Amino acid sequence: MIEDERIATYIHSLDQELPEKIKIIEEEAIADGVPIIRKSTQTLLQFLFQMHKPVNILEVGCAVGFSSILMSEELAEGGHITTIEKMPERIEKAKENFKFAEKEQQITLLEGDATEILAKLVAENREYDMIFMDAAKGQYIHFFDNIMKLLKKDGLLVSDNVLQEGDIVQSRYAIIKRNRTIHSRMREYLYMLTHHEQLKTVILPFGDGVTLSTKLK
**Do 71 and 59 contact (CB within 8 A), yes or no?**
yes
The residues facing 102 across adjacent strands are none
Q: How many CB atoms lie within 10 A of CB 13?
A: 8
Model confidence pLDDT, tens digit, residues 51-85: 999 999 999 999 999 999 999 999 999 999 999 99
pLDDT for position 172: 58
Model confidence pLDDT, tens digit, residues 82-114: 999 999 999 999 999 999 999 999 999 999 999
CATH 3.90.1200.10 is held by the domain 5-158: no
Q: How do the domains of the chain map onto residue ranges?
A: 5-158
This prediction's pTM: 0.90
